[in-house]
Each structure stands twice: as structure tokens, then as C-alpha cells.
Structure 1
Amino acid sequence: MRIQNKNIIASILFVLISFVCIGQGGTTGPPPPAGPPGPPGLPIDGATTIAVIAGLFYGIKKTLKHYKD
């Protein structure tokens, strides 16, 4: 790619980044009040642990099978 093309692409990226920064804008007043808390949920720690262990066993099984062949 020629240097002129790289300069044009870099200039366009800088302009786009500046638009994103301006679009985010800060609030001029105090922050809005917090909403009501969400509904209580079920803990996912037990199922996640089981899924990770099952995934590890499956990965080890596939890896060993791959090296056997």
C-alpha cells in the first residue's frame, strides 16, 4: 500500500474516533438516580463448575484421541 493511501486511511480513522469521543459526551448535571434492583436470580456457580469439568474431560479425550491416530 502506498504511503499516500496509508495517510488517508489514518486521517479518516482519526476523524471517526473524534466523532465517537464527542458522541459519548459527559453529563452536565448530577447523575440520574439508580433504578430499582433487579429480580433475585439463581446462582450459577454449581452448574458452571460441572460444565467446566465436563469440558476439560472432553478436551482431554479429544486431544488423546488425536495423538493416538
Structure 2
Amino acid sequence: MKNQIKILLFVAVLCTAFTYGQAAPPPVPPPPPPGLPIDGGVLFLFISGIILGVKKLKKN
């Protein structure tokens, strides 16, 4: 009888540990605010296009 109680208590503690021992999911990040600045790569591409256009116009 004592062994059955010990086994039942062990199973109850084990189930409780598995239930409450799991990690919580990470929080959801907030959405980005409106009006973000232009990315540096896009700005570099735009400026290099303007410079290339000016060079071609001066050459012709």
C-alpha cells in the first residue's frame, strides 16, 4: 500500500513538473512606428544612380 502511494505521489509530482516547467513563448514585438527613414542601401543606390546619370549627361 505504501509503495502505491509513493508511486502515485511521484507520478503527480512528475506531471506537475512537466506542466509548469515548460518555457513561456517569447513576447510578440510591437509593430514598427510609421514614417521610418529610408534604408541606407536604397539611399546609396539612389545617389549612385544620380551620379551616374550626371556623368553620362556631361559625357554626351
TM-score range, shorter chain: 0.3 to 0.5
TM-score (norm 1): 0.34
